[in-house]
């Protein structure tokens, strides 16, 4: 620029200096070069106007050149803004992939550890159960054994439920699930569980409904949700389970009149180990959400604290 004062095109090179900074994908460098370039141009122009006698094209039309310079800086800023947005997104995406990868390995590790822990637990539990029959131990020691077995059972349950989530998923078969039959068998199964606190399960079925899912997994989902409803119910209350078709969806509603949940509690559902029960594992709902997501179903909660909860399970309907 200084060597060839007559050549106007060298001025363009000056205008585009900040563009180089874009290549480094560094916003600080870009703003710094933009500012420095603007200052340098201002001083250069002042110098040219006051002292230098070259640069006829700048002297002829100073305002036009200044506008050109500003215009070029705006264009460069715009390009920078666009590329920066793109690159930020890509970086985020890349980080997410890495994070998912890391979670996957830790998940597999945790599953392996959980599996290894289960075996010694079973052995310990077996021996405790043996000692419970042993006449050499006094009754109050045996009371402790019961407590120990109980705790081991809880631990086992947590591990079993955890493994059913974290296990590198075996390919489960997609079958046609007959809602009527499944609901019948699940309510029969849970009937005796409900009787523990005098809770009845009422089943309302209108028509034959079918969905595409895995029978065992769908059963697991229903058991978890109906069990929660029974556990939330007060002594003597019923749990109402109904199923029906709603446009292209099969809707199963599980209604209880138990303790209910607040807005915040509903939001926490499905968080691993979130449980308000003294003996809860807090994995039930997480399993349910996983199964529902797998077969494109949804689970919605409507609840009022102290009045009860309505769980709506919605799955795409399948023809026979």
Q: Which residues here bind ligand ADP, judged by CB under 6 A? A: 224, 228-229, 232, 256, 258-261, 269, 274-277, 280-285, 309
Q: Out of 18, 194, 284, 308, point to the residue binding Mg ion (CB under 5 A).
A: 284
Q: Is residue 270 within the footprint of Mg ion (CB under 5 A)? A: no
Residue 194 partner contact from Mg ion, ligand ADP, none using kind-dependent CB cut-offs of 5 to 8 Å = none
Q: What angle do CA 215, 219, 225 make, to 5 degrees?
A: 150
Q: Which is nearer to ligand ADP, 10 or 259 (CB)?
A: 259
Query: What's the min distance (Å) between Cβ of 285 and Mg ion?
Result: 7
SS3 content of the chain, % helix, strand, coil (to 5): 60, 15, 25
DSSP 203: E
Q: Which is nearer to Mg ion, 15 or 229 (CB)?
A: 229
Q: Which is nearer to Mg ion, 72 or 228 (CB)?
A: 228
- What does residue 166 show for φ and ψ, rounded to 5 degrees? -90, -15
Residue 154 partner contact from ligand ADP, Mg ion, none using kind-dependent CB cut-offs of 5 to 8 Å = none
Residue 277 partner contact from Mg ion, ligand ADP, none using kind-dependent CB cut-offs of 5 to 8 Å = ligand ADP
Residue 305 partner contact from Mg ion, ligand ADP, none using kind-dependent CB cut-offs of 5 to 8 Å = none
Query: What's the min distance (Å) between Cβ of 165 and ligand ADP?
Result: 11
CA dist 175 and 248 (Å) reads: 18
CA dist 60 and 7 (Å) reads: 14
Query: What's the min distance (Å) between Cβ of 26 and ligand ADP?
Result: 46
Interface mask toward Mg ion for 213-242; x: CB under 5 A: ---------------x--------------
Query: What's the min distance (Å) between Cβ of 261 and ligand ADP?
Result: 5
CA dist 282 and 85 (Å) reads: 40
Residue 276 partner contact from Mg ion, ligand ADP, none using kind-dependent CB cut-offs of 5 to 8 Å = ligand ADP
Residue 261 partner contact from ligand ADP, Mg ion, none using kind-dependent CB cut-offs of 5 to 8 Å = ligand ADP
Residues 206 and 246 sit within 8 Å (Cβ to Cβ): no
Give CA separation, 50 vs 43, 67, 171, in Å. Answer: 10, 20, 80
Decide the pairing of beta strands 210-213 and 298-304.
Answer: unpaired
Q: Which is nearer to ligand ADP, 131 or 274 (CB)?
A: 274
Query: What's the min distance (Å) between Cβ of 206 and Mg ion?
Result: 27
Residue 258 partner contact from ligand ADP, Mg ion, none using kind-dependent CB cut-offs of 5 to 8 Å = ligand ADP
Burial class (CB in 10 A: 0-12, 13-18, 19+), 37: buried
CA 293 to chain centre: 11
CB within 8 Å of 316: residues ≥ 6 apart: 211, 212, 248, 249, 250, 295, 296, 297
Q: Say how many CA atoms lie within 13 Å of 31 toward its Cβ.
A: 4
Query: What's the min distance (Å) between Cβ of 157 and ligand ADP?
Result: 9
**Contact residues: Mg ion, CB under 5 A:** 228, 284
């Amino acid at each position: 620029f200084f060597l060839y004062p007559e050549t106007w095109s060298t001025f363009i090179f000056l205008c585009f200096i900040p563009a180089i900074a874009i290549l480094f994908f560094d916003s600080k460098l870009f703003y710094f070069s933009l500012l420095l370039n603007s200052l340098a141009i201002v001083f250069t122009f002042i110098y040219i106007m006051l002292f230098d006698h070259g640069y006829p094209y700048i002297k002829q039309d100073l305002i036009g050149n200044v506008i050109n310079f500003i215009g070029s800086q705006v264009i460069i800023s715009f390009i920078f803004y666009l590329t920066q947005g793109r690159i930020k997104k890509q970086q985020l995406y890349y980080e997410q992939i890495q994070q998912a990868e890391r979670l996957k390995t830790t998940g597999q590790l945790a599953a392996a550890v959980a599996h290894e822990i289960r075996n010694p637990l079973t052995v310990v539990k077996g021996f405790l159960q043996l000692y419970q029959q042993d006449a050499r131990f006094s009754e109050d020691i045996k009371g402790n054994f019961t407590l120990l077995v109980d705790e081991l059972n809880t631990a086992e349950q947590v591990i079993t439920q955890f493994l059913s989530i974290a296990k590198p998923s075996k390919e489960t078969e997609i079958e046609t699930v007959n809602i009527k039959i499944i609901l019948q068998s699940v309510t029969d199964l849970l009937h005796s569980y409900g009787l523990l606190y005098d809770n009845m399960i009422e089943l309302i079925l209108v028509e034959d409904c079918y969905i595409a899912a895995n029978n065992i997994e769908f059963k697991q989902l229903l058991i978890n949700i109906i069990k929660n409803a029974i556990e939330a119910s007060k002594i003597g209350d019923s749990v109402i389970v109904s199923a029906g078709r709603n446009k292209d969806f099969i809707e199963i509603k599980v209604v209880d009149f138990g303790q209910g949940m607040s807005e915040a509690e509903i939001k926490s559902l499905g968080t691993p180990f979130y449980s308000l029960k003294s003996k809860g594992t807090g994995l039930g709902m997480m399993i349910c959400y996983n199964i529902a997501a797998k077969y494109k179903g949804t689970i919605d909660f409507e609840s009022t604290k102290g009045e009860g909860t309505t769980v709506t399970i919605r799955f795409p309907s399948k023809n026979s």
